[in-house]
Amino acid sequence: MRAEAEMKAKVESDAKAATEKAAAEKVAAEKAAQEKSAAESKAKAEAKAKAEVEAKAKKEAEVKAAAEKKIALEKQQKEAKKQNELEKMNLELDQFSVTLNKKHFENAV
């Protein structure tokens, strides 16, 4: 009878240990799933932040390029205007020179 009681106690103890082991494994699996989910969420958040930073940098680069293009265009227009004024001045100087030479020629003749 005592052997039977010991056997019954051992079976109950083994069943209890198996139940506790299964519960511990379930808790460990849930914890691993939560950690995996947290890691995935963190990775998604980091990817989103990186994408936002890249988009901001790209936009800033576009704005900077547009500003540089505008400055270059203004400089080109200013240079063209200066060149046009220089050509007008040279033309007037040539006309004045021709008129002056004509006067001297008429006075000499």
98: CB partners within 8 A, 6+ apart: none
Q: Give the span between the Cα atoms of 28 and 104, in whole angstroms.
A: 112
pTM listed for this prediction: 0.49
Task: List the pLDDT tens digit at each of the 109 positions of the chain.
Answer: 777 777 878 888 888 888 999 999 999 999 999 999 999 999 999 999 999 999 999 999 999 999 999 999 999 999 999 999 999 999 888 887 777 676 766 776 6
